[in-house]
Amino acid sequence: MTGEASKAQDIFQDTLREAAFLVANREPPADRHWFFREARWRCLDVVAHGVQPEHGANESTEVSPRAPEQIEQLEPEQLAIWISAAPEPQRSALALYYLDEFNYREMMSMLGLKLTDLSRAIASGRREFQAWLNTTVPAAASE
Amino acid sequence: MKRLSRGLRTLADCAPIANAKAPDRRMRTAVSRAKRTEDFAAQQSFDRAVAKLVQATPVSTEIQEWFANERMAEGAKRSWKKTALHPAILAIGIALVVIAVVAWITFDEQMHAFPGTATAKKLLNVAAMTRPSEFEPMETEAGTLNDLFFMKYRLEHYDVPPGFSQQRTIGVRVFDDDEAGQVAQISLAEKRMQLFLFPARRDSKSGKPEEFEGWRYVDQDRWTGVVAERNGVCFMAAVRGGEKDLAPYIKKPKE
């Protein structure tokens, strides 16, 4: 979400601190989604005050059957940077979706998105990531 | 995925990555239909590869220590106090209490009911509504009125019990009631008390008076009565007040 591990760690700790504060005030978070919702807002706030990526018209292409081979060649940090550079709400949608912990209803609830918006964000993210893969790992992309 | 309808395609784009069970029937349908397409297979492979890469993202030891106890991030359990104060629980609780109270009152009434309860309650209403002018003036001891009832009205066993027989009367009247039959009503000077004598309820099959032991309390609209049955005749002392106003007149109260 932030593209930087140190910022993410700060947000993580701030979120836990906030949770502890709520618990101390006898208003503990109602569910685990609270942590993700709270952390997301903090991420958005941090990103809004940081260097902004240029959001241009990203290229997109259909998902390739050989994409897994391309993805295998990536470092996790590369994926993190790519996702952190995506515009909102696509960035949050992709981050939650690929955590593979939530179903679409939970994601809609956490992100405040309609199904069509969530679906569009994920689908376009897939295609744009595939286009980026094709330029980043071209050897594997050749069919 | 081109063969999928727009709605199903929208759902299939958010399909669960792992083989986790879809959260609802719509998603299951979408996944089931999408599996017949080649695009979806590619999408799933793509998503699994990305998710695998996400899982491989290194986590600092500091954060790992935070999550040493996986239950830390579980939703906070509601305390029993908070649960009890939830509006829905509160409403159900109040409803149950009301039901319990009504059931208890009904049960209690049944426990204290005796043959002639309805008549006694009706006569308590009569006591509340009778004006002093409706009585025939009669200043004597209540215990002596049995002769009057027998001689003048041919009412046998209309005897005032010992606890009330010494009381001074102000007036007397005898009237016919549709349900109770011939009722003798006596107005006393003390506490504006009224005494009633009326036939005991009779068994519909045998025609015999339904007897009951001891004194039974009955109340209606702030009036309280204490009833006893003897020789097929019920006696009731009625007073505007509670049981404590009548208790001193009953030597051996029985419920």
For residue A89, say if its preceding peptide bond is cis, omega within 30 degrees of 0. Answer: yes
> What's the complex ipTM?
0.79
Residue A18: both structure tokens together = 């906030």
Give the pLDDT score at B82.
Answer: 75
Question: Within a 10 A sphere around the Cβ of B202, how many other Cβ atoms?
Answer: 15
* Joined tokens for residue B233: 């005749």
Amino acid at A114: K
**Who's near B52: CB < 8 A, 6+ residues apart?**
A71
Per the domain annotation, does A11 fall within a domain?
Answer: yes
pLDDT at B144: 92
CA distance B107 to B99: 12
For residue A50, give Cα distances in angstroms to A40, A59, B243.
15, 25, 82
Banded model confidence at residue A55, pLDDT cuts 50, 70, 90? low
Residue burial A3-14, b: 16+ Cβ < 10 Å; e: rest: bbeebbbebbee
What count of CB pairs under 8 Å joins A to B? 103
A36 and A85 in a common domain: no
| Residue B255 clears pLDDT 60, i.e. is over it | no
Write down the pLDDT at residue B38: 78
- pLDDT the model gives residue B36: 83
Q: In whole angstroms, how far apart are CA A79 and each of A87, B52, B207? A: 15, 11, 98
Distance from C-alpha of A92 to C-alpha of A96, rounded to nearest angstrom: 6
A89/A133 same-domain check = yes
Q: Judge whether A59 lies within some domain.
A: no
Cβ-defined contact of A65 to B50 (cutoff 8 Å): no
Lowest average pLDDT, out of A45-59, A105-119, B131-145, goes to A45-59
Does the pLDDT value for residue A141 go beyond 90?
Answer: no
A78 and A140 inside one domain: yes
Do A43 and A68 belong to one domain?
A: no
Residue A26 shares a structural domain with residue A89: no
Question: A35 and A88: one domain?
Answer: no
Q: What is the per-residue pLDDT for A69?
A: 86
Domain membership flag for residue A71 = yes
Residue type, B167: Q
Hunting for tokens 């000077």 — which residue is that? B189
Shared domain for A128 and A86, answered yes or no, is: yes
Q: In terms of pLDDT, which residue wins out, B227 or B69?
A: B227
| Closest partner CB to B60 (pick from A9, A35, A63) | A9
For residue B161, the model assigns a pLDDT of 92
A75/A132 same-domain check: yes
Confidence of residue B254 (pLDDT cuts 50, 70, 90): very low
Share of chain B above pLDDT 70, in %: 90
Q: Does residue B200 contact residue B115 with C-beta atoms inside 8 Å?
A: yes
pLDDT at A65 over 70: yes
d(CA A143, CA A65) in angstroms, rounded, equals 10
The domain that holds A142 is classified in CATH as 1.10.10
Task: Judge whether residue A61 has pLDDT over 80.
Answer: yes
What's the mean pLDDT when you consider all of chain A?
A: 81
Number of domains into which chain A is organized:
2
**What whole-number percentage of chain B has pLDDT above 90?**
37
Contacts of B34 in chain A (CB under 8 A): none
Query: Domain limits at A122?
Result: 64-143
Helix (H) or strand (E) holding A106: helix A104-111
Q: Looking at the predicted structure, is the pLDDT value of residue B245 above 50?
A: yes
- For B46-94, what is each residue's pLDDT tens digit? 888 888 888 888 777 777 776 666 555 555 566 777 777 888 888 998 9
Q: Quick one: A33 and A91 in the same domain?
A: no
Per CB-CB distance under 8 Å, the chain B contacts of A119 are 9-11, 13-14
Shared domain for A44 and A7, answered yes or no, is yes
Does residue A132 carry a pLDDT above 80?
A: yes
Quickly state the pLDDT bin for B199 (edges 50, 70, 90): very high
Residues A46, A107 within the same domain: no
Does residue A134 sit within a domain?
yes
Same domain, A69 and A131: yes
The residue of B4, B6, B9, B14 whose CB has the most chain A CBs within 10 angstroms, and thus the best one to mutate to test that interface, is B14
- Residues in B touching A65 (Cβ below 8 Å): 41-42, 45
